[in-house]
Amino acid sequence: MSKTYNWLINCPAHDVNFKWNLKRATEDEIKRAIEHLKTLPMTKTQIAACERELRKRERAKKAGGKQ
């Protein structure tokens, strides 16, 4: 497991480290983090942030740009 993935599953969503690692995570790492977070209590905010980032990346791909 990567350090990025560990930050996503162990850090609160409002933490700057979570936000930074969410930006640099691969889509696969984000998807794995979501699956893991769904098994834990009180992770709705982290899951929402990860899903939002995936949607944002998908929109950027459709628009032909990168973010």
Total count of domains within the chain = 1
Q: What count of Cα atoms within 13 Å lies in the side-chain half-sphere of residue 61?
A: 7
Contact 22, 2 (CB under 8 A): no
Distance (Å, whole) CA 45 – CA 56: 16
pLDDT tens for the chain, 67 residues long, are: 799 999 999 999 999 999 999 999 999 999 999 999 999 999 999 999 999 999 999 999 999 855 5
pTM for the structure as a whole: 0.89
Query: What does the DSSP 8-state code read for residue 3?
Result: H
Range of the domain at 27: 3-63
